[in-house]
Structure 1
Amino acid sequence: MSDFWQDRPVLVTGADGFIGSHLSEQLVKQGARVRALAQYNSFNSWGWLDESPLHDQMEVVEGDIRDPLCCRTISEGVDTVFHLAALIAIPYSYRAPQSYVDTNVSGTLNMVQAAKEAGVRRFMHTSTSEVYGTAQYVPIDEKHPLQPQSPYSASKIGADQMALSYWHAFALPVTVMRPFNTYGPRQSARAVIPTIITQIAAGAEQIQLGDVSPTRDFNYVEDTCRGMLALAECDACVGEVVNIASNYEISVGDTLELIRELMGWDGQFVQDPQRLRPPGSEVFRLWGDNRKIRELTGWQPQIDIREGLRRTIEWFTNQDNLRRYKADRYNV
């Protein structure tokens, strides 16, 4: 392990979430001085950081990226910003699209402006493979057209372009990290892998899903976080958009069968109409090209889908973890 992050002051927005909590922990383990932003709430909850054995080694701050003053305050004295805070649920974006613009686009504007004023060394902006929409060709490289097939996707395209504009206009050292379909412990049950595992773990004889024909490029959360750190250490990545992908696709249906095998479940799958996206909004194929990140940093995934699912199942089937999920309800 290199000493690149030793004593380096780092801000992680969205540190209370799924990927953000894992990234914050990896940074602490590598010696960084982590300032972890959790979204302010009246419950005094730090999200997944409440459960982290390392949260007492972080400076946890509460705030909201929709507030420019908050963004300025948390960016002071920081070397590197990992910007992960966002609204991410696709179905909820159909109901509340304005909130996605406010958080994902305006919130990103607030953060890049704050980073510019603070003079940070690097601004690592988190994108999503959803911006590509259904693949026009595979594997999907960074030159693939952007297709806003949901309000969520549109807001992330806007956020990506806002971040990149600060590189072009103000020389803010921005990198757009574009992870494909991250999964693992702590993921929201609105995502397909936790949806399957939690229903089976709760004893369901039938599990309810949407369309199982789309393919996804799944990446275990530890691999995604390693990719983010590698990009932040790479000077040649400034001003670049870079996929974090496994270069492998698997259908939702085949993922279900793999989980069925690993969990020894012999129940039935039932299609739930409320879990189907509008026809023009479903992304039917995602398979990411990871050549660019390999060439720039040497990164490649270390945990294959079978091993990643085994670890994820082990975490979710722990009763202390499973009780945090409402397996009998559809998570929008």
Structure 2
Amino acid sequence: MNISSENILVTGADGFIGSHLTEALIRSGHKVKAFVQYNSFHSWGWLDDAPYDIRDEVEVIAGDIRDDQFVKDGMKGCDAVFHLAALISIPYSYRSPESYIDTNVKGTFNILQAAREHQIKRLIHTSTSEVYGTAQFVPIHEGHPLHPQSPYAASKAGADLMALSYYHTFQVPVSIVRPFNTYGPRQSARAVIPAIITQIASGKGEIQLGDLLPTRDFSYVSDTVSGFMTVSRSEKTIGEVINIGSNYEVSIGDTARLIAELMNADVTIVQDPARTRPAASEVQRLWADNAKAKQLCGWTPAYGEMDGLQRGLAETIAWFSNPDNLQRYKQGLYQV
């Protein structure tokens, strides 16, 4: 299906990746309806900061994906859905696991059921590399066993399996995009790269981090967005799980040192117990095999390997270092 002439719904459009995806879809000429989390401040999240030409084009609907009637009503008239709405903080999932089941599993069920009833032509469901757990082999391809090590990861694995069940049972045309660790402008400072940058940018000489040894495959946000859009345009991806990652592995400690170097900062890294996951819950190694994405739909990262990581970090640093952006973050507060 060519989605260029279709009406598209983005859930979680107020969030980090969702806002970037919404803007990219509109700039590509799509008609976009944006689901945002209802709040009494009438805030659209990061869409509040979108250029006027974006805000004038997007149709924003505030509500809650846990409400099945809201989802059904909002999805009327849509041809394609990008489902990104979710609770995503791993540390908070230790404190409030039931809320992750309600939002990530039941919310996804509501999306799937509405997609089935409205005969949606394409549904792109968002997964996470966390469902793999610590790599049993690298690079991790889509056949790697699922081994979620946190309530968050378990809720996402459950949502993935529910999505695939609707494809097999009811022929809902689902594709599952499994991003690895996306980073870039607008990301929450609960994530490691913004946590490092905001602490340095605010003048701290001592950087508080969790475990420095785990490795991650960092994907720049524009690569993740292009992955979503490319997957949605290929019929070959229906019923498939597709990794979106850079195919490059780097440790948290080395990432922090690289960021300090790019920011010309002399800092000391200190491990903060409050930022450390329970030992058996920490995912020690993630490294994406992205060959399937290239094979099925021709997607490859523009920010791959060390060169791409450095370019992506430089762009991220520039955004966070802008005083107007930095002031949005509470640099002295660790927020789970």
**Superposed counterparts of 1:127-146, under 5 Å:** 127-146=127-146
What one-letter code is carried by the residue in structure 2 that aligns with 1:50? D
User: Distance between the aligned counterparts of 1:297 and 1:310, measured in 2?
Assistant: 29
The alignment partner of 1:288 has SS state of: coil
User: Distance between the aligned counterparts of 2:317 and 2:55, measured in 1?
Assistant: 24
TM-score (norm 1): 0.98
Q: Indicate the residue corresponding to 2:333 in structure 1.
A: 329
Q: Indicate the residue corresponding to 2:28 in structure 1.
A: 30
Displacement of 1:205 in angstroms is: 1.1
What one-letter code is carried by the residue in structure 2 that aligns with 1:320? D
The alignment partner of 1:115 has SS state of: helix
**Superposed counterparts of 1:79-228, under 5 Å:** 79-228=79-228
Q: Give the 3 Å change call, closer, same or farther, for CA 180–262 of structure 1 in structure 2.
A: same
Structure 1 contact 83–126 (Cα < 8 Å) conserved: yes
Q: How many residue pairs are counted as aligned between the two chains? A: 330
**Superposed counterparts of 1:272-287, under 5 Å:** 272-287=272-287
Q: Indicate the residue corresponding to 2:323 in structure 1.
A: 319
Q: Indicate the residue corresponding to 2:77 in structure 1.
A: 77
Displacement of 1:4 in angstroms is: 4.3
- Superposed CA deviations along residues 152-176 of structure 1, whole A, max 9, x for unmatched, are 0000000001111100110000011
User: Distance between the aligned counterparts of 1:65 and 1:257, measured in 2?
Assistant: 39
TM-score (norm 2): 0.97
Structure 1 contact 5–31 (Cα < 8 Å) conserved: no
Percent of aligned pairs sharing the same letter: 61
Displacement of 1:298 in angstroms is: 1.2
The alignment partner of 1:280 has SS state of: helix
What one-letter code is carried by the residue in structure 1 that aligns with 2:326? L
What one-letter code is carried by the residue in structure 2 that aligns with 1:226? S
User: Distance between the aligned counterparts of 2:42 and 2:331, measured in 1?
Assistant: 25
Q: CA RMSD in A?
A: 0.9
The alignment partner of 2:123 has SS state of: strand
Q: Indicate the residue corresponding to 2:12 in structure 1.
A: 14
Displacement of 1:48 in angstroms is: 0.2
Structure 2 contact 3–80 (Cα < 8 Å) conserved: no
Structure 1 contact 149–283 (Cα < 8 Å) conserved: yes
Name stretches of at least 5 consecutive residues in structure 2 with no aligned partner.
none
Q: Indicate the residue corresponding to 1:305 in structure 2.
A: 309
User: Distance between the aligned counterparts of 1:127 and 1:201, measured in 2?
Assistant: 31
User: Distance between the aligned counterparts of 1:250 and 1:56, measured in 2?
Assistant: 40
Structure 1 contact 83–125 (Cα < 8 Å) conserved: yes
What one-letter code is carried by the residue in structure 2 that aligns with 1:148? P
